[in-house]
Amino acid sequence: MVMIPFWRRKTYPPGFLLGGYKVIRLIGEGRFGVCYLVDLDGKEYILKEIKPKALKKSGNKVIFEEKMLSNIDHPSIPKIIDTIKNNNIYAYILEYKNGKTIENLIFGDNHVFTSDEIYKVGIKLINIIKYLHKRNIVHRDIRVPNVIINEEEVYLIDFGLARLINNERYVPSVDFSYLGHLLLHLYYSSFKKNNRKSKPWYNELELSSSELNFLKRLLGVDEEYKNIYDVEKDFLALDNFNTRFNF
């Protein structure tokens, strides 16, 4: 492993050069890394620097993302382009996917997701999960900050917690639970609270019986799904989407 001094580094300013890549701006910071939008020869990329403290604490577990992405080829998942490893930095360069995260859309832009938007996002995420599970990979972090939308395109990012499925600690149903919570965020974007007392989501949202049963199974309230194919089948059969899209 590359040895890196374990002190808290300040973020890099615009114009700073990292391995030949010029920093455009800071994008965000997570538990294990700091992401920048960078430029090389007029093309934009994402540079993800792994935090020295994370490397010290978790070692090789932190760099699973590099290993996972090196074996993935899907248009909705950023490709890994390059790595920078020296005594000052451990980082990798990712394909830049333009758009906004669901988190930014809901909490920044106050975007209200319609039924057809929920369907389009849901089915595209299910297709991505299907691709990953077929390759024995569980993402384990399908949350609103990690899903980017750009018009009709949906991208899944941040594979820092992704692992190979072993049916012990790393199981497919983890992704189903995360998908359920993400879909709840989409449903709640149009929710208007009528009273001060909070209720459980299944009593608060106006859902069809099939939507209710589907989400309960995703979230493990009822018998949880065993595989992504059953998730896909039930999602396509939801009443609201059947009516709207004439399935």
Backbone torsions φ then ψ of 152, nearest 5 degrees: -90, -10
Q: Which residues are designated catalytic?
A: 141
226 assigned binding-site residue? no
- C-alpha neighbours within 13 Å on the C-beta side of residue 138: 20
Backbone torsions φ then ψ of 144, nearest 5 degrees: -60, -30
121/101 Cα distance (integer angstroms): 12
- Which has the closest alpha carbon to 149: 93, 96, 105, 94? 105
184/186 Cα distance (integer angstroms): 5
Q: Contact, 9 vs 88, CB < 8 A?
A: no
State the binding site for ATP.
48
Residue numbers belonging to the annotated binding site? 48
